[in-house]
Structure 1
Amino acid sequence: MFDYLIVGAGYSGSVLAERIAKELNKKVLVVDRRSHIAGNAYDHYNEDGILVHKYGPHWFHTNDKKVFDYLSEFTEWRFNYHRVKTYVDGRLLPIPINMDTLNELYGLKLQSPEEVQAFFDGVKVDTGNPANSEEMVISQVGEDLYKKFFKGYTLKQWEIDPKDLAASVTARIPTRTNRDDRYFTDTYQGVPKHGYTEMFSKMLDHPNISVMLQTDYKDIIGKIEFGKMIYSGPIDSFFDYKFGKLPYRSLRFEHETFNQENYQSHQQINYPNDYDFTRIVEWKHATGQKSPVTTITREYSLLAEEGMEKYYPIPKEDNHELYKQYKAEADKLDDVIFCGRLADYKYYNMDQVVARALMLFEKKLSNTHQE
């Protein structure tokens, strides 16, 4: 008999399992259809001894001290500022667009934030209230920078014209008026010192927690006794697609190892206009591993079809309307809690998933068990 059945051993499921087991002293069974814990954050040492992220790069960053302190109970950190270059017009230029990007791209000599802002003000297009991704970008940096840095990348990532994508997709992309070339400006940035999988392993290492891998919860649900369910899988799958399937983007990865110390200058280089892949990641820049060989990963974006992993909800209005039908069904269930990127059909950063799981625990679970 388990107090909770948790579907999914990624961030949502693992954080809630740890909290329930430790703070409430309740018995938890965590079930995942994959052969490993840690969800999409799973990392492992490949045959060449390089620590790689199986499901694409996961660079942790947050301003939320509570989230950072919580995860720090299960890992030490290798602090590392994520820096990205973008291959545009045959050159590697800083992204987010900053003073150096403009000077290198256009042969300018901008020297102050005021001069950079004046440049942006001179090229940006007044779109009123941006209604889509294209308008969001050109309202900040104008047409030319949009075409060079954003349009091709967005088309590769989503296979949807930016005119048809929600403004929120590109609203997350910053631009800078100074020379700051960090991709994120959050207070806490880096990767777990011994990998994400090790961090999750410690999170789930509690006598009240049992884990079953390579198991579909639907195959065991009639065979075990449990009180409540926490579900972090795709919400449409839970309801057997009764209103139709929610669309997702998937990813394909090509891993290659080279007999050289480094392959590229930065841990990530984006390719908005050339090649079929969106980016190349070289893991050693982030992990600090020392090795005479190096592994890179090329990342390709594609529509999720049957049997593919689901990575990104597609942010279009009709998809959101379909999700709302499933959400209304979910709200009718008292004994199932839905939580996570797939269950909420929402793009979350890692720290946002952790923050949401901690909030759910405090608001929905810890109060109900206080004697």
Structure 2
Amino acid sequence: MQDEPNGSLRGKRQGFDYLIVGAGFAGSVLAERLAAGLGKRVLLIDRRPHIGGNAYDHYDDDGILVHRYGPHIFHTNSQRIVDYLSRFTKWRPYEHRVLAEVDGRQVPIPINRITLNLLYGLALDEAGAADFLAARAEPVAEIRSSEDVVVNQVGRELYEKFFRGYTRKQWGLDPSQLDRSVTARVPTRTSDDDRYFTDSFQQMPLHGYTRMFERMLDHRNIKILLNTDYREICKAVRYRHLVYCGPIDEYFDHCYGRLPYRSLQFHHETLDREQLQPVAVVNYPAEDVPWTRITEYKHLTGQRHHKTSITYEYPSAEGEPYYPIPRQENTELYRRYQALADATQGVTFLGRLGTYKYYNMDQVVGQALALYKRIKEDERCAAPDESPEHAASPARQAS
């Protein structure tokens, strides 16, 4: 990986084909494809001191591999995305399981047959679990909110135990105020399947995410500037097209107001014991517990160590933007920025923050690969007298 120090712009004399802002999945995947697939000169910048975005992992002071920004579990149903990422990493099989601290005991989440039997002291079979949930479900005529989704499926009691407090802490809003997509991400099962995800591919990068990103960006056509804000260097660098993976409202100086995001604060600890939890993540739905979950990383990585490192997560209204808040009024505000972006020449907005959508990692990879495919096709279609070096480039919304 070619890592230029802050302020070193040796590519300025020749200029770059693309300036990409943000070295997470979206920006890094696109940078690799443009450099390796089309021979483009790419300047990739990030205001953090590392590549990898929120998926960044590193070895802590005790030599334990941890995720600085909370657990990142890779899962997908797309073989195309697996094949692409497999160029840069080997994989470690891992199926994610989560427990929730409810009524003084830890039970599986998503709710399944085991959850019900442990909570209520029952011995339900699969049909019995289905009947149990059906008897408690409270049909909602028109499902609009996250509360509606859960109450309609499992009733108010289980909604209160598992979802209401956790959601209020995570989003700073009651589930009745949030789009139904939030809780729809967590299914309810009547089987014993206690996996958090059911995707066909569930594995972790064998040597971690950061090592995967390093290999991805190790190309002579890619220059990297860290600890660098876009506004500090945009006028000092010659480039043909900008790909912006930061918050779209920030790019436009919040001219229509700020798009709401939810942030997280992390408290990392290393414990002088081999293991703390039976699984990687334990959720804490109760509102009187200030954190939402505790992650123990050795479950994710398979690392053997006589100590263990954990992270407490505290949702926050302040700090780095992590999650676009899914509400109708926020979507409407985003559409105003989207219209402004569509009218802006030479810029493409990409990724979770650039398109204000709550994407999983594989979806961001897919979005970046789709954008690369469109760029490649556009270049093939460019007329001889309108080569890519001279063609006007309108702003785009990567979808």
- Name the TM-score, length of structure 1 as normaliser: 0.97
How far apart, in 1, do the equivalents of 2:220 and 2:378 lie? 22
For the pair 1:309 / 2:309, whether they are aligned, the reply is no
Task: Give the deviation of 1:318 after TM superposition.
Answer: 1.3
Match of 2:160 among 136, 147, 153: 147
Structure 1: unaligned runs, 5 residues or longer = none
- Percent of residue pairs bearing the same amino acid type: 55
Match of 1:30 among 44, 47, 58: 44
Task: Give the deviation of 1:217 after TM superposition.
Answer: 1.4
Match of 2:255 among 233, 239, 242: 242
How far apart, in 1, do the equivalents of 2:218 and 2:281 lie? 33
Task: Give the deviation of 1:332 after TM superposition.
Answer: 1.1
Q: Secondary structure at the match of 2:75?
A: strand
Task: Give the deviation of 1:254 after TM superposition.
Answer: 0.7
Task: Give the deviation of 1:247 after TM superposition.
Answer: 1.2
Summarize deviations over 1:267-326 as a string: whole Å, max 9, x none. Answer: 10000015110000000011011111101101010112xxx2110111111111111110
Q: 1:70 corresponds to which residue?
A: 84
Q: 2:200 corresponds to which residue?
A: 187
How far apart, in 2, do the equivalents of 1:103 and 1:171 lie? 23
Match of 1:345 among 356, 362, 371: 356
Match of 2:100 among 81, 86, 108: 86
Task: Give the deviation of 1:263 after TM superposition.
Answer: 1.0
How far apart, in 2, do the equivalents of 1:75 and 1:128 lie? 47
8 Å CA contact 1:24, 1:369 repeated in 2: no
Matching residue's letter, 2:104: G
Q: 2:239 corresponds to which residue?
A: 226
Q: 1:105 corresponds to which residue?
A: 119
Q: 1:96 corresponds to which residue?
A: 110
Q: Secondary structure at the match of 2:351?
A: coil
Matching residue's letter, 1:322: L
Q: Secondary structure at the match of 2:353?
A: coil
Summarize deviations over 1:171-190 as a string: whole Å, max 9, x none. Answer: 11111110011110111112
Large movers: runs of 4+ above 4 Å: none
How far apart, in 2, do the equivalents of 1:31 and 1:159 lie? 31
Task: Give the deviation of 1:329 after TM superposition.
Answer: 0.5
Summarize deviations over 1:207-246 as a string: whole Å, max 9, x none. Answer: 1100011111111111111101111000001001111111
How far apart, in 2, do the equivalents of 1:132 and 1:7 lie? 34
Q: 2:292 corresponds to which residue?
A: 278
Q: 1:358 corresponds to which residue?
A: 369
Task: Give the deviation of 1:111 after TM superposition.
Answer: 1.3
- Name the TM-score, length of structure 2 as normaliser: 0.90
How far apart, in 1, do the equivalents of 2:63 and 2:217 lie? 25
Matched pairs, number: 366
Structure 2: unaligned runs, 5 residues or longer = 1-14, 383-399
For the pair 1:367 / 2:377, whether they are aligned, the reply is yes
8 Å CA contact 1:32, 1:214 repeated in 2: yes
Q: 2:132 corresponds to which residue?
A: 119
For the pair 1:322 / 2:322, whether they are aligned, the reply is no
For the pair 1:331 / 2:342, whether they are aligned, the reply is yes
